[in-house]
């Protein structure tokens, strides 16, 4: 299966890039933000990811949705590795790294307290998942990719994608159960 398909001809590179971003930018950003818990870094990586597609667009190729998510997953994994490495060095130097925190979203006025607590518990539980489980879960459940697209985006066999999603869901249920919530 090819990672690209021929784009509809005649469209300039800028228009092709804008169209690609319009179709996939919000989902890629959400995925990166969910993986990194850092809105600014997610936006930066998202922009870099789309700009990196310009050579393919110049050749008349449009990257597939699954390919874009694979690039986003790889960028997030690299960022997480750098973040972990930096924390280790700070600890070795005798400094305690700052708490990067979790994205906190205040409940809208029309949301009740219980829903806000469940959201906070779910975000905390997602943050505790290992990166490889969190990525699969977010791609399928949040971004709406199929198992096949997720397999392509993560370069994993479909069976591994299914088992990782199942394990992530089990771990989320357990974590939410410990906090008094149910999924």
177-180 long-range contacts (CB < 8 A, ≥24 apart) are 179/121, 179/124, 179/125
Task: Classify burial at 91, counting beta carbons within 10 Å of its beta carbon; exposed 0-12, middle 13-18, buried 19 or more.
Answer: exposed
Other Cβ atoms less than 10 A from the Cβ of 52: the count is 12
* Amino acid 85: pLDDT: 57
* Amino acid 141: pLDDT: 85
- Separation between Cα atoms, residue 132 and residue 73, nearest integer Å: 9
Half-sphere exposure of 68 (CA within 13 A, CB side): 31
- Separation between Cα atoms, residue 33 and residue 136, nearest integer Å: 14
| Domains of the chain, each with CATH number or no CATH | 1-99 (1.10.1740.10), 106-183 (1.10.10.10)
Work out the average pLDDT over 151-160: 92
Tell me: the pLDDT tens digits for 78-118? 888 777 755 554 444 444 444 444 333 444 554 556 667 77
Work out the average pLDDT over 108-131: 74
Phi, psi values for residue 42, rounded to 5°: -60, -45
Tell me: the pLDDT tens digits for 16-66? 899 999 999 999 999 999 999 889 999 999 999 999 998 888 888 899 999
* Amino acid 81: pLDDT: 78
């Amino acid at each position: 299966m090819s990672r690209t398909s021929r784009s509809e001809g005649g469209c300039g590179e800028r228009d092709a890039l804008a169209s690609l971003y319009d179709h996939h930018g919000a989902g890629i950003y959400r995925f990166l933000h969910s993986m990194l818990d850092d809105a600014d870094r997610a936006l930066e990586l998202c922009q870099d990811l789309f700009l990196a597609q310009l050579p393919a667009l110049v050749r008349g190729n449009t990257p597939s949705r699954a390919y874009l998510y694979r690039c986003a997953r790889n960028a997030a994994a690299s960022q997480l590795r750098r973040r972990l490495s930096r924390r280790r060095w700070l600890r070795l130097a005798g400094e305690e790294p700052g708490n990067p925190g979790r994205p906190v979203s205040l409940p809208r006025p029309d949301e009740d307290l219980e829903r806000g607590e469940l959201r906070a518990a779910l975000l905390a539980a997602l943050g505790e998942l290992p990166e490889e489980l969190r990525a699969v879960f977010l791609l399928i459940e949040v971004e709406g990719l199929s198992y096949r697209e997720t397999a392509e985006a993560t370069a994993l066999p479909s069976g591994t994608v299914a088992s990782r999603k199942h394990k992530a869901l089990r771990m989320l249920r357990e974590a939410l159960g410990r906090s008094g919530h149910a999924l």
